[in-house]
Chain A
Amino acid sequence: MATWTWFHRLGSPPHVYGFARRWTPWFGGAAAVCMVVALYGGLVLAPEDYQQKDAFRMVYVHAPAAWLSLMIYTTMAVAAAVGLIWRMKVAHAAAAACAPVGAWFTVAALGTGMLWGKPMWGAYWVWDPRLTSELVLLFLYLGYMGLRSGIEDSSKADKASAVLAVVGVINVPIIKFSVEWWNSLHQTPTVMKMGKPTMDTAMLWPLLLMFLAFALYFAAVLLIRLRAELLRRERNASWVREVVS
């Protein structure tokens, strides 16, 4: 029974708004601390890689960005599915809030990947499977945002983009698989895989901590955007008055 109350409260915009407002500073603060510590560990403490020397340190920004871009898409699709199945406006609002953040981190993953690729393989763009998949993921994000903005009625936009997100999330592993397969066909002698240096512990913990930092950061940003979405969607409700005055 307690679980149902919790679930029902999740569907109540004022409750979620209050939760978001209270918890954002905690997520944000924790994210900042983790990020600083992880950056220190990665840039200063970790020893240089045998092959890539200090260039490998770009993993501390590239890998978390790429991982986040995927994680956000999944979150967006899950929120969209919840919104579709249980008809929860809050869930649809959360999905909408995810999209721009996810798209930006895909851009970051691509940009940092290009900056890593240039010294490693001599070219800013290589058709590495990870970079290629990230590019397709960016198109998926842009398509999602395009569909949302292309439909006037906000409830229809919610539902249609939710179907798209679910279809997209099923496709992401298939796309990744096909791109990996394609890349393995055309393997050039130089190892094209985005440098996965064999990591010893000193190199690994800052990376894991950075993943955590980015995840906490995303939680904070999502909660902020979610609050904005809820305010925009719930204009008629009385709880809005209490919150903004």
Chain B
Amino acid sequence: MKTPALEVARLVAARDLRLAFRKPSQLLQPLMFFMIVATLFPLTLTPEMSRLRDAAPGVLWVGALLSSLLALEFLFRDDAQDGTLEQFALSGQSLTWMLFAKTCVHWMLSGLPLALSAPIAAAMLGVPAAAMWSVVASLALGGFALSLVGAVTAGLTLGARRGGVLLSLLTLPLAVPILVFGAAATGRAISGDDIAGPMYYLGAIAVLGVTLAPLAAAAAVRIGLE
């Protein structure tokens, strides 16, 4: 009997959340990575706040992207290794919805915390307090889009040798639009302008991602499991 897709998704999401909270220290790692990266830029560029402020959108977004690439490794790895992914694929339920659920949980555990803690990094880069809400919003939305794109590339590299580096190489070009619009939103927020324009584009990419990415990821996972 086929369970309704939403129910399947909920069950998979609940499982992933439960498993993740068994090792809370692992949840902190992408976050710490992001903070360290944000610290490295002032050390390598300049301590001058005004110049850092100019570079802040780039630093924040590249840091977020790199951190998300690290976190992406864990999206499918454990489940692929212990055979759970195979069970998902064989279960006769919608693999697309299951992977969508996994992607959402992944974002909740990596992209969203990163966005929420970004004000700390942003403050270190001279971002004014008035811009903080926009920084969080743009990183949250962009992070979601990144998780979606990453789900596809993570699925594709499941069976590949040196999958980690390959994952980054495949994801980065596809992430360019997200970076462009995300950094533009953050940049506008810092200079006090309206961020609606780039946010709409970011939203459009996220919507496109929601529609297509889980399908592509499911196809990729099935290919890898053959």
How many Cβ-Cβ contacts under 8 Å join chain A to chain B? 86
Cross-chain contact B173 with A167 (CB below 8 angstroms): no
Which residues does chain B contribute within 8 Å of A163, judged by CB atoms? 152, 156, 216, 219-220, 223
Which residues does chain B contribute within 8 Å of A139, judged by CB atoms? 169, 172-173
A231 to chain B, nearest CB (A): 25
A164 and B170 contact, Cβ closer than 8 Å, known pairs A147-B157, A147-B160, A182-B184? yes
What band does the interface of chain A fall in when counting residues whose beta carbon is under 8 Å from B?
A: 20 to 34
Tell me, in angstroms, the Cα distance from A151 to B219 when the chains sit together: 16
Which residues does chain B contribute within 8 Å of A174, judged by CB atoms? 177, 205, 208
A143, A179, A181: the one within 8 Å of B170 (CB): A143
Cross-chain contact B173 with A136 (CB below 8 angstroms): yes
Please tell me if A156 contacts chain B, counting CB pairs below 8 Å. Answer: yes
Cross-chain contact B170 with A171 (CB below 8 angstroms): no
Which residues A37-60 have CB closer than 8 A to chain B? none
A143, A150, A179, A185: the one within 8 Å of B162 (CB): A150
A61 to chain B, nearest CB (A): 25
B203 to chain A, nearest CB (A): 13
Q: B152 — nearest CB in chain A belongs to which residue?
A: A167
A7 to chain B, nearest CB (A): 23
Which residues does chain B contribute within 8 Å of A23, judged by CB atoms? none
B205 to chain A, nearest CB (A): 7
Tell me, in angstroms, the Cα distance from A167 to B208 when the chains sit together: 12
Please tell me if A170 contacts chain B, counting CB pairs below 8 Å. Answer: yes
10 smallest beta-carbon distances between A and B, as pairs: A150-B160, A178-B177, A139-B173, A178-B180, A159-B223, A143-B170, A182-B180, A174-B177, A136-B173, A140-B173
> Which residues of B come within 8 Å of A, CB atoms?
152-153, 156-157, 159-163, 166, 169-170, 172-174, 176-177, 180-181, 184, 201, 205, 208, 212, 216, 219-220, 223-224, 226
Offer 21 A-B interface pairs, CB within 8 angstroms, sorted by A: A84-B219, A140-B173, A140-B174, A146-B166, A147-B156, A147-B160, A150-B157, A155-B226, A156-B226, A160-B156, A160-B220, A163-B216, A164-B156, A164-B170, A170-B212, A171-B174, A171-B177, A175-B173, A178-B177, A178-B201, A181-B180
